[in-house]
Structure 1
Amino acid sequence: MPRIADPRARIDLLRAAEAIFAENGLAAAKVEDITIRAGVSKGAFYLHFKSKQDCFRQIVEGVVARLSACIEAARFDECAPPESMEALFEGRLAHVVDLLEFCWQNRGILGMILTGGGGTPYAYLMDAFAERIERQAETWLRHGVEVGLYRDDIEPAIVARLVAGTHERLVREIIKQPRRPDIESWARQAQDLLARGLFSAASSAVVDRTVTKNRERDERPREPRARAKTG
């Protein structure tokens, strides 16, 4: 009677394989190293995967699928009129932070994919993913121009590539950091710089009012905190 594959063992193997691939690269990684770290036999490995290459392919496809889910959740094709853009701006920032946080958590595998480290043959998946981001960004930009959020003199197809390229470089910088950077600060800086160049006059006026309001709030003297009574 053939052995039945254990789903929990597959999860353990994928986690162990991801760590081994990130440490050693695809070419140098050994199935035995993966099974020892996962605490299972070689036979269990081959119940789930044809080879280490097949295992790596499944890991890569899983990472790309989760990246795609992050992009879908962002709904960058939705825009708001200038008067309600503050909430839109913060909502988009939160989605970008989630995406970059995911990239940091999966920096080992993403680093291999983006650099082709260890002979990884799946960089084309990231290229296809980048093209998808560009298409979505172009849709978002065109709609933003229509509702008056963005300037009407931009070329969405070109700007979409600039936006996608900015975020790709941001991902590359984040995943090579030795310690977790301030991801929200990095994302906010990138978004501020991009948005400032895209905003229509009406949108810029809303942003300027918001910035002034926040600055006044931050500079307002604060009441000293009352000391807790003792005794």
Structure 2
Amino acid sequence: MPRIADPRARIDLLRAAEAIFAENGLAAAKVEDITIRAGVSKGAFYLHFKSKQDCFRQIVEGVVARLASCVEAARFDECPPAEDLEALQESRLAHVVDLLEFCWQNRGILGMILTGGGGTPYAYLIDAFTDRIERQSETWLRHSVEVGLYRDDIEPAIVARLIAGTHERLVREIIRQPRRPDIEGWARQAQDLLTRGLFSVAASAVVDRTVTKNREREESPREPRSRAKAG
């Protein structure tokens, strides 16, 4: 009677394999190392995967699918009134930070995909992911132009490629850092640089007023402490 695959063992194997692949690369990783870390037998491994390469492929596809989910979580069909631009900026910033944080948490596997480490032929999946960001960015850009948030003289298809390229370079830089970088700070800088040139005159005026108010609040002198009256 054939053995029945245990779904819990598969999860343990995938987690162990991801760690082993990230540490050693695909070529140097051994099935035995994976099974020892997962606490299962080699037989259990081959119940779930045809080979080491098959296991890696499933890990890569899972990571890319979760990346796609992060991208799809954003809404691109609603635009707030001009007075709520600050809230819109913060909402979109949080979305980008979540995406970059995911990349940092999965930097080992993503690094292998992007560099082809260990002979991994999966860079095309990242290209497909970048294409998805381009399409989504273009949708958002066209909508924002229609509602007057962005300038009407931009070419959404071109700007979408600039946005996608910026985020791809950010991901590459983040995953090569030895320690966790200031992900939110990096994302905010990128957002400020990209959106400043896109806002319409009306939107820029709202943003400038908000920035000025925030700066004045930060720079306002503190109230002097009341001095005790001389006795």
2:199 is aligned to 199
CA contact (8 A) 1:81 1:149 kept: no
2:71 is aligned to 71
Percent identity between matched residues is 90
For residues 70 and 221 of structure 2, the distance between their equivalents in structure 1, rounded to whole angstroms, comes to 40
Q: Deviations over 1:155-190 (max 9, x none)?
A: 000000000000000000000000000100000000
For residues 134 and 207 of structure 2, the distance between their equivalents in structure 1, rounded to whole angstroms, comes to 25
By how many angstroms is 1:204 displaced? 0.7
**Runs of 4+ in structure 1 displaced over 4 angstroms?**
none
TM-score (norm 2): 0.94
Residues 1:164 and 2:177 are matched in the alignment: no
For residues 88 and 62 of structure 2, the distance between their equivalents in structure 1, rounded to whole angstroms, comes to 29
Query: Secondary structure, in 3 states, of the residue corresponding to 1:118?
Result: coil
TM-score (norm 1): 0.94
2:130 is aligned to 130
Residues 1:155 and 2:144 are matched in the alignment: no
1:228 is aligned to none
For residues 78 and 193 of structure 1, the distance between their equivalents in structure 2, rounded to whole angstroms, comes to 22
By how many angstroms is 1:147 displaced? 0.5
1:60 is aligned to 60
The runs of 5 or more residues in structure 1 that have no matched partner are 226-231
Residues 1:33 and 2:33 are matched in the alignment: yes
By how many angstroms is 1:123 displaced? 1.0
By how many angstroms is 1:223 displaced? 5.2
The runs of 5 or more residues in structure 2 that have no matched partner are 226-231
CA contact (8 A) 1:133 1:164 kept: yes
RMSD: 1.4
Letter in structure 1 aligned against 2:209 = R
By how many angstroms is 1:216 displaced? 1.4
Aligned length, in residue pairs: 225
